[in-house]
Amino acid sequence: MTESVAEISRRYQSYMVELRRKIHSHPELSFEEQGTSTLVQDELNRLGIPFELAGDYGIVATIEGKNPHQMVALRADMDALPIHEDNAHLSYCSKTPGVMHACGHDGHVAMLLGAAQVFQHVKDTMNGTVKLCFQQAEERGGGTAEILKLLAPFPVKSAFAIHLWSEIESGKFSVQAGPRMAAGDNFEIVIQGVGCHGATPHRGVDPIVVASAIVMNVSHLIAREIDPTHAAALTFGKLHSGEAGNVIPDKAVLAGTLRTTDKADQVHLQAALRRVVQSTADAFRARAEVSIKRGGPMLFNEARCSQLAEQTVQELFGTGDLMAFPPLMVSENFGDFLEVYPGLMAFIGVRNESRGACFAHHHPQFNIDEDALYRGAALHVGYALKCFESL
């Protein structure tokens, strides 16, 4: 059956392209995916696939096979990014100023709906039940709790997702085991000083100087407190303070991100960040508060599931399309699923310079080679069928 899945999926290539372009031209930010969710619901209703809402716009749909006692959850995220698209030559360029599908989520939704079409062909012989999970708000760390709550009563054997990736040649697959994406924590530091005139700095406590010292003082943490064989990153992306050049303000705000691939490193660096911020503020007679917001956990592909995915790719498309790809320091909260269920995230390449699909994720000219869509849909279906046979 898995050999024919690729052929069935190819029949729905134009369907997936049309859906992807429709979603791409009408992108919606996290927690605002009403139109995208409505589109998905309309397609599921048309196919006669029952579903429940997971939060405001998330969806969990059910395709029943012969065996209700084993299930696989397949996930696609739906939200876009606050980026103004610079692809005016495309007929399906974003029609919403300042909002763009620059991370491939439009393709993720199209592939999972394409998989739903393929499942309609094989469900009568399918030895299990599939949960199709359309997730809202991934870019802001949301959407997983509502879906996991709906999945909790059921015997889910594995969770699986696909991420289209612009650094991999179009049509190639990476399904290897082990750490694939870093845990991502975002932090904000509010520094309270004492404002004064710029000509009399001795009468104040300059929060800009304190913020600058904090940036420099934390820069040693990874180099001197983390095992050099472990990947980690701590960077700042925001420093805001003051409004006038001759006034020392009373407050400064820093914000940044912490990325780790080891749980112990994550805990240590969170504590170390608080320690260094506090000691630096004390040294300058300032006050500082640190708030750390958990993002996605480390995304770790389980070995057995990765092996099944590898077998699936080989059966669908042959051995030549598999490739190794290094772990990424970006973060995404499908790791929440993998903390509950064994599973994996597969990467499918969408890079094709001849079609202009050569820009990085989150770039205003990001685009994908749509020829990869049917391959992703086939992998969704093939992996689920393989799990029903083997897990």
DSSP string of 177-239, one letter each residue: SEEEE-EEEEEEEEEE-B-EETT-GGGSB-HHHHHHHHHHHHTTHHHHHS-TTS-EEEEEEEE
DSSP letter string, 62-74: EE--S-TT-EEEE
Instruction: List all residues 6 or more positions away from 320 whose beta carbon is below 8 Å from its beta carbon.
Output: none
Is the Cβ–Cβ distance between 175 and 162 less than 8 Å? no
Q: Give the separation between CA 145 and CA 308, rounded to whole angstroms.
A: 27
pLDDT tens-digit readout, 97-126: 999 999 999 999 999 999 999 999 999 999
Under the banding of pLDDT at 50, 70 and 90, the label for residue 3 is: low
Q: Give the separation between CA 53 and CA 45, rounded to whole angstroms.
A: 13
pLDDT tens-digit readout, 260-290: 999 999 999 999 999 999 999 999 999 999 9
In the predicted model, what is the mean pLDDT of the chain?
97
Is the Cβ–Cβ distance between 273 and 283 less than 8 Å? no
Under the banding of pLDDT at 50, 70 and 90, the label for residue 294 is: confident
pLDDT of residue 296: 85
Q: Give the separation between CA 231 and CA 227, rounded to whole angstroms.
A: 9
Rounded to the nearest 10 degrees, how much is the dihedral formed by the CA atoms of 112, 131, 390, 261? 70
Is the Cβ–Cβ distance between 46 and 73 less than 8 Å? no
Token representation of residue 317: 């498309």
Is the Cβ–Cβ distance between 54 and 133 less than 8 Å? yes
Helix axis angle, 105-122 to 2-11, nearest 10°: 120
CA of residue 332 relative to chain centroid, distance = 3
Token representation of residue 72: 């696989």
Q: Which amino acid is at 111?
A: M
Ordered domains of the chain (ranges, CATH): 2-181+298-390 (3.40.630.10), 183-294 (3.30.70.360)
pLDDT of residue 134: 99
Give bridge partners of residue 300 from the DSSP assignment: 179
Instruction: List all residues 6 or more positions away from 251 whose beta carbon is below 8 Å from its beta carbon.
Output: 190, 191, 192, 193, 207, 241
Mean pLDDT of 203-228: 98
Q: Which regions of 25-126 does DSSP assign to beta strands (E)?
A: 51-54, 58-63, 71-77
pLDDT of residue 295: 83
pLDDT tens-digit readout, 326-385: 999 999 999 999 999 999 999 999 999 999 999 999 999 999 999 999 999 999 999 999
Q: Give the pTM.
A: 0.92
pLDDT tens-digit readout, 78-102: 999 999 999 999 999 999 999 999 9
Q: Which residues of 340-378 are buried (b: 16+ CB within 10 A; e: fewer)?
A: ebbbbbbbbbbbbeeeebbbebebebbbbbbebbbbbbb
